[in-house]
Amino acid sequence: MKLAFIGGGTMGEAIIAGVLDKGVVSPGDISACDISPVRREHLAITYGVNVAEEATAASSQSDIVILAVKPQEFPAAGRALNSNLNGNQTVMSIMAGVPIDAIRSALKHDAVVRAIPNTPAQIGEGMSVWTATEAVPDSTCASVRSVLSVLGRELYVDDEKYIDMATAVSSSGPAYVFLVIESLVDAAVHIGLSREIAVPMVLQTVLGSARYALETGKHPAELRNQVTSPGGTTTEGLRELEEAGLRAAFVNAVEAAYEKAKALGGQK
């Protein structure tokens, strides 16, 4: 399997680092295109991959062409690749908000995968949700799965509409979690803990809670009830959160992010 990266940034580099670290491919199987000479030099020196200034040069011998450009940079990247892809290649987009139809139209190419990873992918703890057109062979879907798995967990969905939903939940989700962490740290400081104590306390609490939920497989409500004794301290804290409208705030946040994701893709 040969991979070509058009653009890069942190997520593209995370994939390069991951597939090399896991032995999915070797450095000679990767080509990367970036308009920045500094970025090209960094990728070549750090990972030993092939680099090119032009997208056509980077993608010509690849099996999977990974579009890792920003959405606003796609029109230029699309023009560079248009009519230069062959029938054996698959294009995988990790761009937010750019639908498959737009990619197909710009590239005149039917074999397209659309994936949405999130930032924890940079440490191999990400969540990637993806889908593929019917023109993508099963063997290539298996290759895509092996590439995305180096970023953490991957989940295939059979309808592109779920990608925009994933954008609102798992892609934007880390920002929501970071805000909760920040707020919990501030609350700890408010009652008298130093930040030096509060930060590791909160981080381990969030990490441990997530791992506990994964390991037990129990419904979050059941796990919450385990912590909530009648008339206890947790009951008082949860009552305040419920009265403040925490659930509704999360629903509104996810819905707003979902509507924005659809709008970016030209959907109503």
**Banded pLDDT at 268 (limits 50, 70, 90):** low
Both 205 and 77 in one domain: the answer is no
Cβ atoms of 54 and 75 within 8 Å: the answer is no
* Whole-Å CA distances, 4 to 18, 114, 259: 15, 15, 32
C-alpha 54, offset from chain centre: 26
Per residue in 145-165, pLDDT tens?
A: 999 999 999 999 999 999 999
Total residue length of the chain: 268
Which tokens in the block code for residue 108? 């005149």
Both 18 and 150 in one domain: the answer is yes
Both 125 and 252 in one domain: the answer is no
Residue 266 has pLDDT above 80, yes or no: no
Gap between the Cα atoms of 130 and 113, Å rounded:
7
Both 116 and 182 in one domain: the answer is no
According to the model, what pLDDT value does residue 73 have? Answer: 84
Residue 3 has pLDDT above 80, yes or no: yes
Residue 35 has pLDDT above 90, yes or no: no
Cβ atoms of 15 and 126 within 8 Å: the answer is no
| Domain assignment of residue 53, yes or no | yes
Per residue in 96-150, pLDDT tens?
A: 889 999 999 999 999 999 999 999 999 999 999 999 999 999 999 999 999 999 9
**Banded pLDDT at 57 (limits 50, 70, 90):** confident
Cite the beta strand spans of the chain per DSSP E. Answer: 3-7, 30-33, 50-52, 64-68, 90-93, 112-116, 126-132, 152-156
Both 40 and 124 in one domain: the answer is yes
Residue 113, SS3?
strand
Q: Which of 101, 129, 158 is the last residue of a domain?
A: 158
Q: Which is more confident, 133 or 60? A: 133
According to the model, what pLDDT value does residue 36 have? Answer: 86
∠ CA 85-4-164, rounded to 5°: 85
Q: Which of 158, 192, 216 is the last residue of a domain?
A: 158
Residue 19 has pLDDT above 80, yes or no: yes
Both 19 and 149 in one domain: the answer is yes
Both 178 and 150 in one domain: the answer is no
According to the model, what pLDDT value does residue 109 have? Answer: 93
Q: Which is more confident, 85 or 176? A: 176
Q: What is the dihedral of CA 59, 64, 70, 71, to 10 degrees?
A: 110
**Banded pLDDT at 267 (limits 50, 70, 90):** low
Both 181 and 132 in one domain: the answer is no
Gap between the Cα atoms of 31 and 2, Å rounded:
8
Q: Can you tell me which residue has the tokens 């892809």?
A: 85
CA atoms within 13 A on the CB side of 262: 10
Cβ atoms of 51 and 32 within 8 Å: the answer is yes
**Banded pLDDT at 183 (limits 50, 70, 90):** very high
| Domain assignment of residue 30, yes or no | yes
The CATH number for 237's domain is 1.10.3730.10
| Domain assignment of residue 168, yes or no | no
**Residue 187 belongs to domain spanning:** 173-264
First-to-final CA distance of the chain: 38
∠ CA 78-51-30, rounded to 5°: 85
Residue 132, SS3?
strand
**Banded pLDDT at 7 (limits 50, 70, 90):** confident
According to the model, what pLDDT value does residue 74 have? Answer: 87
Both 118 and 217 in one domain: the answer is no
Q: Which of 101, 125, 158 is the last residue of a domain?
A: 158
Per residue in 221-263, pLDDT tens?
A: 999 999 999 999 999 999 999 999 999 999 999 999 999 988 8
Which tokens in the block code for residue 185? 């740290």
Residue 244, SS3?
coil
Both 118 and 144 in one domain: the answer is yes
Residue 266, SS3?
coil
Task: Give the DSSP letter string of 48-77.
Answer: --EEESSHHHHHTT-SEEEEES-GGGHHHH
